[in-house]
Structure 1
């Protein structure tokens, strides 16, 4: 099979979610709506937290960073898909594709943020008297920066490894964005090292936060069960429900992608499953926190009231 070196490679072709052109207007409308709702919802969360003095706490700092991450993650993938559908052109340049791989990997920072938020809940419930000392502003910012650093290192590692690959002339990606695993499958080079690094990175950068979340909630549950007051137990658990819902959504959709990839040979079904993982969590996270958190609902109510008053 003819090879094409990465230095001569100019573009890939994104096949999207379907080859039925009659469905493209519906897909365009659906993804445009999802993108706008995602941006608006996360922007409202950020504005409510910044404008509400009662929300200037570590938990809401991490939530605002999570919203910024969700906005960036969605912006990396969805707009390019919308442009391609509108222009009826499925091409994406090699540089754009590599950039998507890099920034999508950085978007995996959500994995670390969820672990940091779990640790915050652990300190708040298990060590309430020392909460302000442990979760001081410097330590909170340090945890966020460390999460970002690990995400960037992971992204650079995968991006640089893709640069070493050569590709076949068949450069069709059965997805609506450049997913790392799909790019590796197109290569005619030896991809053992790339696949091995994906496995190691998933184990280290994915397994580490999952273990951190698990251990945090083991201590939280044991601490809550030792409380004598049922009202205290309910209050403690209620502070964790939003975070647990987001964790379940994030890892649940990720697990669904893994199962779908293992049990089906349809590339289209795999792309749809991956779409659920990359689009649904950023869309629903703001609603989960705004609907299940009393303080957030009050801050959003005041924010909306200010907008109505100005109008």
Structure 2
């Protein structure tokens, strides 16, 4: 990669606190663009425009992501004095529709937890660990990356909250229910102390439990519970947390805080699943709801 793109990535890490996965995605997109048109700090506008052809076979969401990475780079390049022009206008701007989240029903959640609880009754450390993991995914709405990287000190001592570090290094307090606290207590009693680790869910060599392994375990549990593994993942359990809280009457702003969304528009995607409740709310709470047409 060119020195300019390396400098941009260094800025993302140092000034914006971009996560490792985010940096890896930016690095990949910028490297592929440079392979196609050369050093981005010097690439002429027509070369930038030619990327539309390079990306023709990609999904609109992928094109939008790559174009966003380049727009941010070009803005940085202008700020640094590497470019005097902004060729971002030559990039394609596909209209993308954000996919609606997969939604698990209450019966599916019940089946998943029934199986996890049954397996954990043996007090096998791996089964108790899995129960604690899914309790935190569904009970607190954590992202997979947030969950596997939780340090031991994040576990509440005298308050029912977890201290979670989310995207961009932002820290938030997440409530933990009684079931999750009980599962965590059981796991801490069985958690291996050797080798020492600062992580709540340790792996070998002082590292934390991997995100890939978490996905594998959740899908395996789904299969044993008689559910379709393809329909269930850690992220789907996070969606279920949000959806079911909204069904129960949770405030959207409160949910935004718990999920760690920077923009409430991201949280609003969950409102589609609760249309019936919203109609009932309007019919019961609107000032004109109690008036008849003859009034």
TM-score tier after normalising by the smaller chain length: under 0.3
TM-score if structure 2 supplies the norm length? Answer: 0.23
Higher relative contact order (CA 8 A, sep 6+): 1
Structure of higher CA gyration radius: 2
TM-score if structure 1 supplies the norm length? Answer: 0.22
